[in-house]
Amino acid sequence: MARAHARHRKSRSPGATREGRAPRRVVVTGGAGFLGSHLCTALVDQGAEVLALDNFVTGSPSNVAHLLHDPGFRLLRCDVTDFVHVPGPVDLVLHFASPASPVDYLRMPVETLKVGSLGTWHALGLAKDKGARFVLASTSEVYGDPQCHPQPESYWGHVNPIGPRGVYDEGKRFGEALTTAYRDHEGVDTGIVRIFNTYGPRMRPHDGRAIPTFIRQALLGEPLTVAGDGAQTRSVCFVDDLVRGVLAFAASGHPGPVNLGNPEELTVLRIAKDVLAAVGSASAIEHIALPVDDPKVRRPDTTLAEELLGWRPRVPWTDGLARTVEWFGQASLEDESATVVGGGAPRTA
């Protein structure tokens, strides 16, 4: 564990990052991933010194290439399941290291569980050692296939621990429990955000999630593979809005959990048709079998985020989709080393 010896945390206000002032030094685990790279960009833009940690299993240095020559940014290859040591002071630890796509956690189930447990433990140890605020990137997957709709933070979830999605769902649920234990018993200033479906530039074309899969298929003139009849719903949030919410939460000093996501609910079939229109593609829609344990509905209750943070999504779906399609149009659509396990339908986790 990252030198988490017993000592009192430095005395500082939980609101040391409030009123829009960027924290002095921030560690972002998973900093070369989709969400992590956008967080790093926003923090550097605010004037923070940022250290991004990533083992590049699902992240890529190309996601932060635009930051590599900035004196306020440093990228370090690091597997948080092994050890985390950062010299010097740290004000904020954003723990975003984890496979997040079903393609990845089906391919790496043990690694996914390890980063949700050992990785969270090590990142918490770093925060304890430095007297830093710690924010865990949890997920709407802790609600499983929900029997409560929309999903408030008080809902305990409906999760199959031995199903194919269990390695990700239960890893995040364990991470929430560990984070809470460090707050209650170790005196660490921790917070938990539950992130709902997020999309935008820098998603991997072959990561298996619905939006990048549909865009890739449409750009290549392939059929869009919609699971089932497409009536299942998702709520999708543009990445800029999500990052704004995470940083507002980090500055709040609140323990969470707090839902961050777009409360506008779309069917998967609607998403597919909107992608076709945005791309200008004549591709057909092909209906295939539903994946195991695929949630039928997914929509956050964002009341707490609105009341606590004054946060709500600003980017309309059509605008965010257009910006994402534009980015994909300039990106390589070739297959990646993290290939789709078993092919088939995109999963909208």
Peptide bond into 257 cis (omega under 30): yes
In the chain the first and final C-alpha atoms are separated, in Å, by 30
Catalytic status, residue 143: no
Handedness of CA 136, 214, 165, 117 (dihedral sign): negative
Q: CA-to-CA distance for 3 and 164, rounded, in angstroms?
A: 35
Which pair of structure tokens corresponds to residue 265?
A: 């609910």
| Phi and psi angles of residue 67, each rounded to the nearest 5 degrees, phi first | -105, -10
Helices 166-186/120-130 angle, 10° precision: 20
Q: CA-to-CA distance for 4 and 58, rounded, in angstroms?
A: 28
Selecting among 105, 143, 155, 168, the annotated active-site residue is: 168
Look at the block and give the residue holding tokens 């939460």.
249
Alpha helices, DSSP H, located in the chain: 34-45, 102-107, 109-114, 120-130, 166-186, 210-220, 239-252, 268-279, 303-309, 317-330
Active site residues: 168
